[in-house]
Structure 1
Amino acid sequence: MKPPSIPKLNKNNPNQYFIYWNHDVPVELWHKYPRKRMRIKVIDDINEYHGEAKDTHAEFRRQVWQYNLDSLRYNPFEAELNRFRELQQKKEVLTEQIEEQVAVSQGENRHLFTVDKSLHDYIKSRIARKLAKTSISAYQGCVDWINEGLTFNGHGAVPIGKIKYTHLSAALDYIAEDREWVATTINKEIEFMGTIFNWLEVEDYVVKNPIRGKFVKLPTQKSKHRWYNREIAKTVKDAVKAAGKDKVFYAMQFTYWLMIRSKKELQALTIGDIDRTLKRVRFSAALSKNKTEQYRDYPEEFEKVLDRLKLEGLPKTWFIFGKLDGSPGPAKCGHNFFSKQFKVVKDRIGLSPDFTIYGWKHTRIVHELMKGTDCKEISYMARHSDFKSTKDYLRDYDLTLENIYGPEDLTY
């Protein structure tokens, strides 16, 4: 959505002053409005004043609305949107109840169910079987990415009975690239998906598991997203600077200091997500693995990065890495904006493809391990689901921590 326009004061009618601005209509409400961007009009108590006092008060109220929009993120459609979502949720519940009754009496019609409904049925069956919470959570994660991947590729509305291997393969390719999964993760998720579709076959949602015997297991040596030792780190940073890729350099710094989890998080960061008073960053629920909003403090060193970006005074809704050249703007940069530019630098210096921008997050974790930071603390900083994931870095990067860097190297 575009940010709202700057509120203005209309004094054409001396007896009826009002404030107005243009505001995007939420996508879910497009069907209710003649245009996708509507003019919002507010009067407040402006017309209760007279003469010069009226003009002064009107300008004050205009500034109040400017603050509401910029800082408080006021949305005039919020109440209507919440009501619409409540009705949609009730509709979905009723639809689900009806479909469940149909499934009981006419099992042969299950192949017409939506993918989302069918996968939801699978999760409910696992809960009913008293499966361990960790297992249910793992399958729920698989269900979530299948839905996301199918929707992204335009297959979200395909009935479960018509889902093919090609649909699921395209979904996996998108998610694996977006979340920068390594081979081990991809293989694990394929196994989860196979189990889910085996159940869908047994329960007559699909005639045959569409992926059985189709996916080839990937080699599992862990080399992708390698951490940067001090020599390679210096070479890469110098090369990025020499190439004039300043936005890539900022992306590397953000990934290191904030431990950004994927390029999607990097793309979605807005100026309003950075709180320089409390020195913390907001990670929205839409991007979180557990669908909850999270906040993390950032270190003092990151302040220097923010100073160089000069974000003060820009709209809070703007993306830090905007469209076109990566500068802050109302639209976010493209999905492969950074990786394409970084590849040019890597090719120029002969750097292995295993080194990625995401590897700077891994580098920060290795540095924290070298500093002696507790694994549970690192797990919290990196937003890992458990600190076992953090301990894996000791194994995956072959670190004994007997020989560690000095303070001058344990930073970006």
Structure 2
Amino acid sequence: MRNKLPYKLPTICRCKSGEWYLQYAYEYPEQPGRYKTFKVKDGINRIHDPKLKEMAARELQADITYWLEVLNYNPFEEKKDIIKQAMAEIKAKSTPPHWTLSEAIDRFKANVVKKNLSKRTKETYDNYLSNLIAFLNEFPDHDVPANSFTEFDLISFLDVESDELDWSPRTYNNYIGFYQTFFNTVNKLEKAITRNIKYEFSLTGDEYKTSNSQKNKAYSGELKTIIKEELVNNQNLSDYIEWIYLSLMRPAEIRALRFIDIDKSKRQIRIIGKTGDRIIPISDQLLNLIKKRQHRAHTINDFVFGMAGEVSAIQIGRDYFPEKYAVIKKQLGLDHNYTLYAWKHTGVIDMIYAGFSDRDIMILSGHKTETAFAAYKRDLIINENNVMKGATINF
């Protein structure tokens, strides 16, 4: 007799409101017969064409089925993100209702209007908050109580955004400064209504970035070897890091990359990103990686790194690879300045020492001028021919 499966296969839920999601169930560990329901959206609601939306939903259904049946995926063994943990903890407690993040944001905006701040200040605040909202909306249970949000949640968000958008340390610190103001303000506003409210958010100052050298922290040869060994059991993450290293593309550019953007015959990739529409060449090493990924593609419209890091018609979430990489960084004791984006800096350094010219590297890196690239390079290395690298004075 066939053993009872610990899961129930996914079904497509098409709500009248227009929101679609996939729903599957998995048996609670050590609680036979009791199942927890999981919902997965992964971007299908951003598709407005009904036929394309139906195709995306069915492909997502097939992917989840594959994870469960073939890969033996168990959601209870996955690393839970901080926001979902916070939601579970809050729901488990019988506490009076507190402001959710959405409500806290609305109260903060109302307070800004009440203070009659300038139009420019209001627009700046709206920009900071809209970025956080967009990030949180990628999670099913995103609207957690505002008082449960911690500085660790914030740093997780900022590190992903910084990698995606190539922020300067100044921009990074401006965001930290704003959110310190935001949580201090909503804490006071909510405390005026609920006296015993306590906010978890607390910054010490160590979270600020102080220099470009921190932002551009690259990986030494020894550290590269150690990390590559840790990546053996996570092929998608390994491919993703290798892609950054070889192509010097930004994470946001890679997330948006489809096979249709790659011309293997002309050995070039078309990118639309921060620096605008540009074309980069394909090296022999990058071509091998492209062939390896394309072998798993269904159509030329598939994302090279799609949902769950696989080749897929569904775009991957911004936090997927940073979360996976955070586990490795924690194991190795690396601080938050060692980012996925730092593999681009490492690639630039290795190309310089391999003898490639600045102009050749600039075609990959996206720098518009030699002056800009020279300033960037100064934050990465001392001139490779500097005489102080040779024999100097004896002690």
The normalised TM-score by structure 1 is 0.47
Mark the structure with the bigger radius of gyration. Answer: 1
The normalised TM-score by structure 2 is 0.48
Higher relative contact order (CA 8 A, sep 6+): 2
